[in-house]
A and B are shown apart, each in its own frame.
Chain A
Amino acid sequence: MLKKIVILLFVTCFACFNTGFAAESGGMPQLNPEFWISQIFWLIITFGILFIVLTKVILPKISDNLETRKSQILENIETADKQKEESQKKIDEYEKIILDSKLKAKSYFNEAREKILDDINKKRAALEKDLDEEISEVEKELSDLKQKSGEKINKIAAETSAELIKELIGEEVNSSSIAAIVEDQSKINRERKDV
């Protein structure tokens, strides 16, 4: 079916061709030399003008523009590289500074700590010394007091007992004998206490 249609089409087409050619002067208009010279003439003129204007005016502009773009891009890449390097340098510097300051801070901290510890130790030592002195003083006083207190008590006891005896008997007794008795008694008491 399709084949038939196509064949039919070609036949009609061929008929058209024939009638067409019969109506025209015949053949291809391209081979009619009537306007050949005119076509050549106008081709030379138009193509010549086109060629000259493109060569002298337009193409240099485009080429210039492309060149400037290329160089601009290269320049930009260069500056970008430079800036990258610079920033890397600055980053390194920054890191170095940070590291330095960290170390410095650490050393300051350590120094301060040592100083404070020293201070504390010194003060503590001084305090301990003071305390020791005071304690030893007090101990001494205490031991003095202990020693003295026996005698005093004895004396008081002797006096009191002398007074008591005087009141009871109404007669004065020899104070030395009383003291001796008190001494004995207190010795006995002390021994008892010790035991």
Chain B
Amino acid sequence: MASNPMYQFNVYRIGPEIKLGSVDISFTNASLFMVISSLAILIIFNLGAKKKTLIPDKLQLLSELSYSFVAKMISDTAGSKAKPYFSFIFSLFMFVLFCNMFGMIPYAFTVTSHIIVTFVLAAFIFFGVTIIGFMKHGLGYLKLFVPSGVPMVLLPLIVVIEIISYLSRPISLSVRLFANMMAGHTMMKVFGGFVISLGIVGGWLPLSFSVALTGLEILVAFLQAYVFAILTCIYLNDALNLHH
């Protein structure tokens, strides 16, 4: 049923069924696009890093601009203490960006449109940031939940709110990316379906919508990758520089 706008999110097995014990870890279309995205990143950046000319060529310029872009993003939001985590945030940003962008190719699968993928990334970030926070500040990291300058009466309420907001970070982070990707792709599919169902007479309006939406979705693909990375930086900033 190709006209179903949710059909594009179906995960299906490619090749044989692989089982690890009783767990199914078969190679699926989702795995394929994860591999493609990672390989694309590695190839592009390897080619960009290979030539060490003083005046960069296009690929080198691309990789160096990405490098300085992410470096600037991290130093702006999390300061110089976040430098050891640069390569993780760079990988994260590039992975999400490439998965989003590969999803824009027709008939391609969008890895980041699956809540489980984004949630695993977000949960990893959440636990990583929490561990870093406790390692840097010990139990003093709990001060994060006690903002300064709050009246004593309101403090219990504020602390509860802070804890809830802190615990909801992985959910908000993962749902934001997943929902954006899924909604955008569903909408594009719906408008694409309208083009077919309304035919040559009425199909022009949804077609123009579809064209506009494609541009918008490319923007969203970049923006969501950026938001994902920058929120990670902000969480990292909370853990590294405790001043709430």
> Per-residue 0/1 for A37-64: is the Cβ within 8 Å of any B Cβ (1 yes, 0 no)?
1111111101101110111011101111
Q: Give the interface segment out of B43-51, B132-140, B158-166.
A: B43-51
* Contact of A30 with B49 in the complex, beta carbons under 8 Å: no
Q: How far is the CA of A59 from the CA of B11 in the complex (A)?
A: 33
Question: How many A-B contacts are there with CB distance less than 8 Å?
Answer: 161
Given contacts A35-B26, A35-B30, A54-B41, contact A69 B7 (CB under 8 A): no
Partner of A51, one of B9, B35, B88, B202: B88
Contact A37 B197 (CB under 8 A): no
**Looking at the complex, which one of B50, B87, B117, B193 makes contact with A59 (CB distance below 8 Å)?**
B87
State whether A63 and B114 are in contact (beta carbons under 8 Å apart), knowing that A39-B11, A42-B34 are contacts in the complex: no
Interface centre among B10, B116, B193 (most CB of A within 10 A): B116
* Residues B50 and A61 in contact, CB atoms below 8 Å apart: yes
Residue numbers in B under 8 Å from A54 (CB-CB): 41-42, 45, 87, 90-91, 94
Residue A68 interfacial (CB < 8 Å): yes
Complex contacts, B114 vs chain A, CB 8 Å = 30, 39
Given A62-B64, A69-B54, A39-B1 contact (CB < 8 Å): no
A24 is an interface residue with CB less than 8 A from chain B: yes
Would you call the interface of chain A mostly helix, strand, loop, or mixed? helix
Contact B95 A50 (CB under 8 A): yes
Q: A23-B1, A51-B88 are in contact. Are A35 and B28 (CB under 8 A)?
A: yes
Closest Cβ of chain A to B239, distance in Å, is 19
CA distance A5 to B117 in the complex (A): 38
| Cα–Cα distance between A20 and B7 once the two chains are bound (Å) | 8
In this complex, which of A21, A23, A54 has the most chain B Cβ atoms within 10 angstroms of its Cβ?
A54
Shortest CB distance A103–B (Å):
49
- Tell whether, in the assembled complex, residue A30 and residue B24 are in contact, meaning their CB atoms are under 8 Å apart: no
Q: How far is the CA of A54 from the CA of B6 in the complex (A)?
A: 34
B64 vs chain A, min Cβ distance (A) = 6
Cβ-defined contact, A39 with B116, below 8 A? yes
- Determine whether the beta carbon of B116 is less than 8 Å from that of A30: yes
Is A108 at the interface (CB under 8 A from chain B)?
no
Known contacts being A53-B42, A59-B67, is A40 close to B116, with CB within 8 Å? yes
Q: Complex: how many Å from CA A43 to CA B6?
A: 22
Instruction: Name the CB-closest residue of A to B198.
Output: A9
Chain A: which residue is nearest B98 at the CB level?
A50
CB-CB contacts below 8 Å: B208-232 with A: none
State whether the Cβ of B5 lies closer than 8 Å to any Cβ in chain A: yes
CA separation between A18 and B50, bound complex, in Å? 52
Residues in A with CB closer than 8 Å to B197 are 12
What 4 pairs between A and B have smallest CB-CB spacing?
A20-B4, A42-B31, A61-B49, A55-B87
Of all chain B residues, which has the CB nearest A26? B6
Contacts of B121 in A (CB 8 A): 43, 47
Q: Given known contacts A9-B194, A54-B41, A69-B54, is B24 in contact with A46 (CB within 8 Å)?
A: no
B154 within 8 A of A: no
When chains A and B are docked, how far (Å) is the Cα of A65 from the Cα of B31? 33
- Asked if A49 contacts B26 (CB within 8 A), the reply is no
Of the residues B30, B35, B64, B87, contact of A39 by C-beta under 8 Å: B30
Residues of A near B46 (CB, < 8 A) are: 57-58
B-contact bits for A121-149, CB 8 A (1 contact / 0 none): 00000000000000000000000000000
Residues of B near A12 (CB, < 8 A) are 194, 197
